Chain A
Amino acid sequence: MSKYSLLLPFILLALFSACEKESDDLNNSLLPGFWAQEAIFVNGSPVGLSECEQSTRLLIEANGVYRLFSSCDDQERAGTWYITNDTLLDLTMDRLRNNNYEPYPVRFTILSLTEDELEIRIRTFVGERKKLVLFTPLPQDDLTGMSPEEILELDRYNKTLKTYIYRFSKNL
């Protein structure tokens, strides 16, 4: 067998493997698309979606930018996305601070990401959830007319940790 024959398998291997994309992570290719919010689970229990929560749409594009629309406040919001280790989804999301929304980094665990379904989980405090626009804005606490005991009770509730799961289905 000549030395050329010995080289042939290596050349063929180089031919078929060298052209792979530099970052061909499966999740990075599955995430871009148009997603509709389908379900929310709090501490494992499904929550009935309001009409505006059902209207929540996510347009995720390959350049690392996403846009979010919800009829809850008829606003389009935008941010960036990044997947780490195929399991964590980092989104910059709006967070209320001094009556203004500011970009805030939020990390979700990816529970499922297929061609048709995206399911992500975050564990956070109830009060934090209220400030963060986790896909839909929530009404803020109104302390007007509340007794000190009621305010204390609300404060305790806001410091409760809860696990939120968001499920989206692909529309495109």
Chain B
Amino acid sequence: MKSNALRIITCCLFAIALFACEKEENESIEELLTGVWVLSEKTIDGQSVTLSDCEKESTIEFLDNNICILYDGCEESTINSGWSYQYDMLNIAVHLPAAYYVEHIDKSSLEISRYDISTEGELTLTVFYYLKQL
């Protein structure tokens, strides 16, 4: 009886040891990012910024081949760029050296933030909220 219990515990621990360390998190964020995201809201240092109608038409499309398509609703222009998710940061080539932190992501909403240095030498935090285009 005791030996059986020990066997079961051993098997369970083996299973945990084999599967617990797999890095699913980064992959799942990359998978979740894939698609077209529409800008819905923006805050700077916690203060909400009113978006114009054309800004609300701005989108980012992340393709699974690490290409992204940025559409500026006000300029009505499209930029093709590259993207990657490494070191827990979202890098969009045309926005470098600034990179983004994924604060929240699910199948319908995305929240990314970036730091910048103001002309006064202060750190500012801008948060962008996106909704997935259906």
Which of B3, B7, B91, B123 makes the CB contact (< 8 A) with A171? Answer: B123
**A143 on the interface (CB 8 Å rule)?**
no
Contacts of B9 in A (CB 8 A): 8
Taking a contact as CB atoms under 8 Å apart, the answer to whether A63 and B121 are in contact is no
Check B121 against A57 for contact (C-beta < 8 Å): yes
Closest A residue to B13 by CB, please name it.
A11
Q: Verify A59–B117 contact, CB threshold 8 A.
A: yes
Q: How many residues of B contact A (CB 8 A)?
A: 26
Q: Does A62 contact B (CB under 8 A)?
A: yes
Interface string of A93-119 (1 = CB under 8 A from B): 000000000000000000000000000
Measured between alpha carbons, how far is A5 from B10 in the docked complex, in Å?
9
**B20 proximity list for chain A (CB < 8 A):** 15, 19
A21 to B130: give the CA distance in the assembly, Å: 31
Residues of chain B within 8 A of A8, CB atoms compared = 6, 9-10, 13
Interface hit among B35-43, B53-61, B71-79, B81-89: B81-89
Q: A57-B121, A67-B117 are known contacts. Are A11 and B17 too (CB-CB below 8 A)?
A: yes
Given A61-B89, A64-B87, A69-B117; A4-B6 close (CB under 8 Å) = yes
**Measured between alpha carbons, how far is A15 from B89 in the docked complex, in Å?**
27
Known: A14-B17, A15-B16, A18-B21. A55 touches B121 (CB 8 A): yes
Q: Smallest distance from the beta carbon of A31 to chain B beta carbons, Å?
A: 12
Return chain B residues, CB-CB under 8 Å to A69. 117, 119, 121
Q: Which residues of A contact B16 (CB under 8 A)?
A: 15
Our pick among B6, B21, B86 for the contact of A2 (Cβ within 8 Å) is B6
Q: In this complex, what residue of A is CB-closest to B84? A: A63
Interface-facing stretch out of A71-79, A82-90, A125-133, A159-167: A71-79
A41 in the interface (beta carbon within 8 A):
no
Please name all residues of chain A whose beta carbon is closer than 8 Å to the beta carbon of B99 when the two chains form the complex.
61, 63, 65
Q: Chain B nearest CB: distance from A143 CB in Å?
A: 33
Q: Does A146 contact B (CB under 8 A)?
A: no
The reply to whether B86 and A63 form a contact with Cβ atoms under 8 Å apart is yes
CB distance from B118 to the nearest CB of A (A): 8
Which residues of chain A in 10-43 are interfacial with respect to chain B, using CB atoms and an 8 Å cutoff?
Answer: 11-12, 14-15, 18-19, 34, 36
Given contacts A62-B89, A171-B123, 8 further A-B contacts (CB under 8 A): A19-B20, A36-B121, A57-B117, A65-B97, A69-B121, A71-B121, A74-B119, A76-B117
